[in-house]
Amino acid sequence: MSGDAHTLPLRQGTTFSEEAVPEIDPTTTAGLLAERLQAWKHAVVYLEDYVGAVEKVHKAHAKEYERVLKTISHPLREGAHFDQGLGGVAGFFENMRVNTQAMINSNAETEKTLKGSVLPILERLHKEIKAKHKEVTHGVERGAKEIEKARNNTQKHIELLGQHTAAFESTGGKMTPSDDPYVIQRGVLHRLNKQVIEENNHKNDLVNIQDSFKAFEAHVILVVQQAMDALNQVAGGQAEKTRALYTDMLAAAQRIPGDFEWTGFVNREGHRLADPNEPPRSVDAIAFPNQHHNATKPLIEGSLERKSRNKLSWGTQSAYYVVTPSKYLHEFKDDDNLRHDPKPELSIFLPDSVIGAPNGEKFHLKGKDKSKSFSSKLAGTSELQFKAHSAAEAQKWFDAIRTAAGATGPAYESQSPSPEASAPGSTSDAGSKVDKIDTTYKDQAAGITGGETVSSPTAISPTVARQNTLKDDVPAEKGEKATAT
């Protein structure tokens, strides 16, 4: 017997040991397998949630694309400026509306397809895993109960055998037939056999379940692959369709020639556009109301030189002067009306002024600047000394100013020497001083002064008849020239 005895190889991880009543729970393997099925079930639930979320996304996308469509649903503002044909901007926006509506329909169809085709695949797989889990759990539970019952019976007889073997020693072998340790030992073997049969049956069931897991998990993976393929066809196909719709919009925009809209616009509205062949406008060719009114025509205009009113300043400065029918003498920097707004630098109201008779190229005017400029506020009434380009031109200015002032008559027309009139302000004859002062006063009352010196000129007054009387009454002196002022 010793030669036949050898150590049998033990399988590691076996559910049951060599003990009559193992301490290992026979449901441990079944519990592990049930937990694995639970893991698969949760994985499928994850996929169900994912596909459900994608379904909701496409449903939301359909609503969002409706909002997108509303942004271009109305006709173009000022749409008359665009060609209404299919090849222009209006046709491009119509293409966008059609494609956006197709995106709305595509997302709505995708949402319905996911809900009606892809989700049911995963839901059926979920039910299969749940049924498998129930099968494993309930089958193992029944086998475990039978094993537990057989082990309890075996344990009781093993304990009974121990009691009677102990009594056999104390009683000296006097036992009843039912308490005979031999009989009891055979009863233990009988019940142990039933226990082993139950354990082996349970083990076979577990092995069968384990073997079925390989095929079942392959089936689960296959179904998951089918669901993902369906998801790709539905959602991925929708994505490709969306891409195709956007590509079509791009193509519609790219098909518009750069000058298409402008050419059509010129053809439709050319009569309202500026004519490039029309010559440019000129200020000289423009007429406007009252352009040639008598009040706008100067009595005389031109450049004069004037001595500065600043006593510290030397020399003269040239400017452009105009005598207007409004009885003003205006001074401008120049005669240019285009570069800047022509505003008078000096404005003298001639009826309130006194002008001296011209002396060659020079003449002078005393009056108040009413241009409201800063210099006019400082200067007040001042005497202005002018110089024309020639004596004849100075006479023209004198006549124009005299006419504007309203002082007309023979007194203004006499510029030749006369033995009957004396020059006011002259110092050549002291004996006729009274007569000359009287003459000067009367001449000034008529609005003019004469000679080179003007003493205290007053406002011009058109008293022509009085001037003629004065000329007859004032005695003439030898060597003096009578000057009309």
Query: What pLDDT sits at residue 9?
Result: 39
The answer to whether the beta carbons of residues 445 and 439 sit under 8 Å apart is: no
Cα gap 479→485, rounded to integer Å: 19
Query: What pLDDT sits at residue 313?
Result: 64
Strand order in the sheet with 362-368: 346-349, 328-332, 316-323, 300-307, 381-387, 362-368, 354-356, 448-449
pTM: 0.51
Cα gap 157→44, rounded to integer Å: 50
Residue for token pair 């616009």: 265
Query: What pLDDT sits at residue 265?
Result: 87
The strand ranges marked E within 17-173 are none
Give the residue from 70, 88, 72 showing the smallest Cα distance to 264. Answer: 88
Backbone φ and ψ for 268, nearest 5 degrees, come out as -80, -40
The 3-state DSSP class for residue 479 equals coil
The answer to whether the beta carbons of residues 69 and 96 sit under 8 Å apart is: no
- Helices 28-70 and 181-231: crossing angle, nearest 10°? 20
Query: What pLDDT sits at residue 373?
Result: 66
Give the residue from 365, 350, 381, 389 showing the smallest Cα distance to 449. Answer: 365
Taking only the tens of pLDDT, the chain with its 485 residues reads: 444 444 443 434 444 445 655 544 545 777 788 889 999 999 999 999 999 999 999 999 999 999 999 999 888 888 888 888 778 888 999 999 999 999 999 999 999 999 999 999 999 999 999 998 888 877 766 777 777 887 888 888 788 788 878 777 776 666 777 777 788 788 888 888 887 887 788 777 777 888 888 999 999 999 999 999 999 999 999 999 999 999 999 999 999 999 888 888 888 888 888 888 888 888 888 888 998 899 999 999 999 998 876 666 677 889 999 999 999 999 998 988 888 888 888 888 999 888 888 999 999 898 888 877 656 555 567 788 899 999 999 999 999 998 888 754 333 333 333 333 333 333 333 333 323 323 333 333 333 333 333 333 334 433 333 333 333 333 333 333 333 33
Beta bridge partners, 346, equal 331
Half-sphere exposure of 15 (CA within 13 A, CB side): 20
Beta bridge partners, 348, equal 329, 369
